[in-house]
Amino acid sequence: MSSLKTTARYNEAKDEWVLNGTKTWITNGGLANLHVVVAQVDPALGARGHASFVVPEGTPGIAQGRKFQKLGIRASHTAEVVLEDCRVPGACLLGGKDRLDDRMARAREGVHSATQAALGTFEATRPYVGAQAVGVGRAAYEYALEYAKGRTQFGKPIIDNQAISFTLADMRTRLDAARLLVWRAAWMGRSGQPFTGAEGSQSKLFAGETAVWVTERAVQILGGAGYVRDAPVERWYRDSKIYTIFEGTSEIQRLVIARAISGMRLN
């Protein structure tokens, strides 16, 4: 967040903000009815000099840039959003100008706020990303389970082989553990409980890595049939990888958790 390049300049005479920059890896970028853009207002303040703006559909100066061709989740439109002298009314600043001025004044005086709003929002939404990952993993597990029951080799279903049955047991156990972490974090967010142990990040980290692990083993159980597009496990395997990348990589999740449980700012 502190390396943000998109800028926002306030024109007091017209009570409008002028946005310039390029956002990348944006879901529904250039297609959405509105975009929420985080921009740098005061570069000297780093992450504390940022603000968020609502850019309505049809605003001059906002356009779709390059559309990305991805490994997985190909049905999801992902593209750049280009802002060139994009002008939005002062009312499109989330939180209002007075609160922004007050926050930046405190930052210049060295007064630290408890949490950045954007980072707090990520922590609260990560359980929902974790729930998606659990769903992908569950689909792959259920498909592999039914396949193992029906596929016969040497006169018996392959699930009778201990290597296959133990793998399926581990798949189910990890999925159930991931589901419980997601349920806990979702309940905490819904009931206003503080994420003192970065429980949102815990759920997303474990669920995302579980989805990758489970789908890879589903492909392995199906063998050659899992490597071609005739069976959906090939697609779930590709789709699963994104859950260790977006909404914060697995490495970032571990950093967030480590900071939360240690009370220290770790690099």
Where in the sequence numbering do the catalytic residues fall? Answer: 247
| Secondary structure class of 200 (helix, strand, coil) | helix
User: Which is it for strands 50-56 and 34-40: parallel, antiparallel or unpaired?
Assistant: antiparallel
CB 170 within 8 A of CB 234: no
The amino acid that residue 38 corresponds to is V
User: What are φ and ψ of residue 245, in 5° steps?
Assistant: -120, -60
AA identity, residue 201: S
Asked if residues 214 and 174 have their Cβ atoms less than 8 Å apart, the reply is yes
The single-letter DSSP state of residue 5 is -
The first and second tokens of residue 105, run together, are 């004044």
